[in-house]
Structure 1
Amino acid sequence: MVLRRVRVGGASQPWLSLGGCGQCAGSVSLLKVALLLISLPWGARGSASANLSVALGHTMPPPRGHYLSIGDGSVMEFEFPEESEGIIVISSQYPVQGNRTEPGPVLRAFSLDTEVLTIQNVSAMTWGRGGGFVVNIRSRLPGLAPLYLQLVDPQKTPPKLIEEQRDFRIKVSPAEDPPATLSTGLVHFSENPILYLLLLLIFVNKCSFGCTVELEVLRGLLQSPQPMLLGLLGQFLVMPLYAFLMAKVFMLPKALALGLIITCSSPGGGGSYLFSLLLGGDVTLAISMTFISTVAATGFLPLSSAIYSHLLSIHETLHVPISKILGTLLFIAIPIAAGVLIKSKLPKCSQLLLQVIKPFSFVLLLGGLFLAYHMGVFILAGVRLPIVLVGLTVPPVGLLVGYGLAACLKLPVAQRRTVSIEVGVQNSLLALAMLQLSLRRLQADYASQAPFIVALSGTSEMLAFVVGHFIYSSLCPVH
């Protein structure tokens, strides 16, 4: 027996494990250590002591053909810390031939939740009338992983199933978050100096958008709110359902699936009315839809999260960042209202703001894209192809859904474009905040791959649309 350190949540902690098992087959001392090892704290918190007669090998064959056991058989659930390696010693009381010229039975071990636990390998040991197996495992995310064990006689043709066992479970417990790591991830959005410059530009830009608001159009939307209702339908019903279906099709892990669904359940982002301006949409409608959907998110976002968490069998308590939603509303309402006031009281200043709105908007798009990639690169380091493929489809699917819904009501082309953009552009930062507030660090960072990929792909794809629209408008001007 050796003492080995393993990485747990970024910190190095000692855990007991066995070394050199291949050289110790048939050793009684190893048997004593192996069977007693299960009762140590790293393996089973609930098993305070092992049966001494089992440890010494003085056992009777179990009744009803139950040959496999762990420890004294009184404990069925064993605990490991997350992100660590360890072993489980499984004893077999299936009789072994006295001369041992023929291979003994073989153990097949499977984890029924590979997000929580994976089986690395299984090695056999023999002693006395029976034998045993050392199962090497690696724990991953916190959770409960049932084990599926099969004891097979390979001498039969076909191999004979002697026993199968599904009662053992491995509980992977969360490790403590190291305080130092909390200052190197997503928390650092507020510490980046580029962000403060962008916030100032965003405020000025929103004032410019306020100068584009037509009060008559706004009053008309209050009387005929169909476009805004279509936006809510697409954002909070169709897009979360699409995310859930894609998570099933691509068999995404639960945490990643939850991150994708929450992202697709988020309200329209601030870039939606920016793209509406650049792509010939109705800017007044875009601003109104973003504001209304952000207000509606206080109810629809927790409802959608609760429904799909239940469908995914995720039992985390999800915290909706109400303070961030309120901050978003204020950051929309205050500069937009200031722009409306400037338009009515200071028309010359309003004209100046309208002249800089498009170049400002384009600079903000590039700056936001750079900042999102810079801050999310540590999360996206281990990203896998399925979530990238799904993330790339989310914005165009949202655009098609929004445009299709608007076309069904035969809305004007400008309003169709706006509804399309509103459904296709999500507030990924809101989804990111919700995931970081609700999940443990490792799970939160893993789930946060979804909003980052959707944000990066959405901004990139919309920029491509803007460039394409500019080129088309230049080559084929509308007279």
Structure 2
Amino acid sequence: MKRIFKFIERYFFIIILLAVVISLFYSNSFKWVLSEYNGINMLNLLLSIILFTMGTTLKVDDFVTVFKNPKEISVGLLAQYIIMPILAFCLAKMFSLNDALTVGIILVGTVPGGTASDVITFLSKGDVALSVSLTAVSTVISPILTPMITLLLIGNQIHFNPFDMFISILEIVIIPIILGLTLNYKFPKFCDELKDYLPAISSIVICLIVAGVIGANKQAILTSSVIIMVVIILQYFLAMFLGFCVGHLAGMDKKQIITIAIELSFQNSGLSTGLAKNHFPNLSQATVPGALYSVWQNFAGSILAYVFRRYV
């Protein structure tokens, strides 16, 4: 059984591509991902599962690391919540994206770093402790910063309620993390045994979310895929390049520079998709950038991890 989960973790980029192909040919197969059952929003539930698994891998000591390495953490967080939102906004303006795609791209830029960054950092021989700390802290402060920055960037042209987004992120992100953290505190041995399975579980859930969103927006993706894919690829590689620049200018060592670059380019695209669906229901295409970014970051990230490991 453990081998199966390790296989899923190692070849995640292939599995997510298969999920995309299936969702394009059989779009109704994953229709349930964006549905509600007995009042339960399935997309939010799936996102909560990912954040809960992340919580079970964390300990209070992980947050103490923030105070031991204030420089690296501060630089990473400032880059996360300043560079990424501005980059997203500039790309949306440069390519004259419509309101829906603009919302989607900006949400990709304003959400915290994704949990996949920790895995890619490990594979790239980066600073895993720094990656985990950055992901955890950026996620914990996201209920305040994500709605606030999103409001600053698009509030004048597209109406939404930042307080509702704050509550939504608390429910989807913070509560599951606290539950996972509590479980790890109460039953550390049990959670330690789960570590071999959790990355694969998160990977499967991400595949389901991506497949659901792509299936629901099949026509929109097929008609606008060229422009939006160019924007997404640029967003990803520019984020990584800027991460390298920031790390170098901050005087970090090679492992830390690689980590900052990966942390910036790997966003919690699943969360951006969920926020787009929940808070911009009239802009159905707003969910598309998050889904496509998830596919691209995991596909490209797996290849780059090999490059970093061998040549950097």
Equivalent residue in structure 2 for 1:419, among 257, 260, 273 = 260
2:220 counterpart residue number: 382
| 1:306 aligns to 2:144 (yes or no) | no
Residue deviations 1:332-355 (CA, integer Å, cap 9, x gap) = 344345446656xx4xx677556x
Give the partner amino acid of 1:361: P
Give the partner amino acid of 1:309: I
Equivalent residue in structure 2 for 1:448, among 269, 272, 287 = 287
Distance 2:165 2:120 in 1: 26
2:18 counterpart residue number: none
Shift of 1:222: 0.7
Shift of 1:266: 0.9
Instruction: Specify which structure has the higher proportion of helix.
Output: 2
1:176 counterpart residue number: none
| 1:322 aligns to 2:161 (yes or no) | no
1:263 counterpart residue number: 108
| 1:430 aligns to 2:271 (yes or no) | yes
1:398 counterpart residue number: 239
Equivalent residue in structure 2 for 1:188, among 35, 40, 62 = 35
**Matched residue pairs, number?**
276
1:232 counterpart residue number: 77
Residue deviations 1:70-112 (CA, integer Å, cap 9, x gap) = xxxxxxxxxxxxxxxxxxxxxxxxxxxxxxxxxxxxxxxxxxx
Shift of 1:197: 9.5
Task: Note if contact 1:281-1:417 (Cα within 8 Å) is conserved in structure 2.
Answer: yes
- Mapping of residues 462-477 of structure 1, within 5 Å: 462-468=301-307, 472=310
* Pair member with larger Rg: 1
Equivalent residue in structure 1 for 2:125, among 276, 280, 283 = 280
What is the TM-score when the length of structure 2 is the normalising length? 0.72
Distance 2:88 2:181 in 1: 32
Q: Which has the higher contact order (CA 8 A, sep 6+)?
A: 2
Task: Note if contact 2:144-2:166 (Cα within 8 Å) is conserved in structure 1.
Answer: no
Task: Note if contact 1:186-1:376 (Cα within 8 Å) is conserved in structure 2.
Answer: no
1:365 counterpart residue number: 203
Distance 1:318 1:364 in 2: 29
- Mapping of residues 54-453 of structure 1, within 5 Å: 184=31, 187-188=34-35, 207=56, 209-210=57-58, 215=61, 219-310=64-155, 314-319=157-162, 320-326=164-170, 327-336=172-181, 338-339=183-184, 346=189, 352=193, 356=196, 361=199, 364-365=202-203, 368-369=206-207, 371-383=209-221, 384=224, 385-441=226-282, 444-453=283-292
Give the partner amino acid of 2:235: V
Residue deviations 1:414-472 (CA, integer Å, cap 9, x gap) = 3323322221111223222332233343xx212222212212211221222345567x3
CA 1:230/1:374 → structure 2, altered by over 3 Å: closer, same or farther?
same
SS in structure 2 at match of 1:281 = coil
Give the partner amino acid of 2:93: K
Distance 2:167 2:119 in 1: 24
Distance 1:363 1:323 in 2: 26
Residue deviations 1:305-338 (CA, integer Å, cap 9, x gap) = 222225xx51412445334422312333443454
- Greater shift, 314-323 or 415-424, is seen at 314-323
CA 1:341/1:377 → structure 2, altered by over 3 Å: closer, same or farther?
same
- Structure 2: gaps spanning 5 or more residues: 1-29
Task: Note if contact 1:218-1:285 (Cα within 8 Å) is conserved in structure 2.
Answer: no
Distance 2:36 2:213 in 1: 7
Task: Note if contact 1:189-1:375 (Cα within 8 Å) is conserved in structure 2.
Answer: no
CA 1:435/1:192 → structure 2, altered by over 3 Å: closer, same or farther?
closer
CA 1:391/1:201 → structure 2, altered by over 3 Å: closer, same or farther?
closer
Task: Note if contact 2:210-2:291 (Cα within 8 Å) is conserved in structure 1.
Answer: yes
Distance 2:251 2:285 in 1: 41
Give the partner amino acid of 1:412: D
CA 1:397/1:333 → structure 2, altered by over 3 Å: closer, same or farther?
farther
CA 1:420/1:338 → structure 2, altered by over 3 Å: closer, same or farther?
farther
Shift of 1:389: 0.8
Task: Note if contact 2:88-2:106 (Cα within 8 Å) is conserved in structure 1.
Answer: yes
1:130 counterpart residue number: none
- Mapping of residues 42-53 of structure 1, within 5 Å: none
Give the partner amino acid of 1:457: W
1:460 counterpart residue number: 299
Instruction: Specify which structure has the higher proportion of strand.
Output: 1
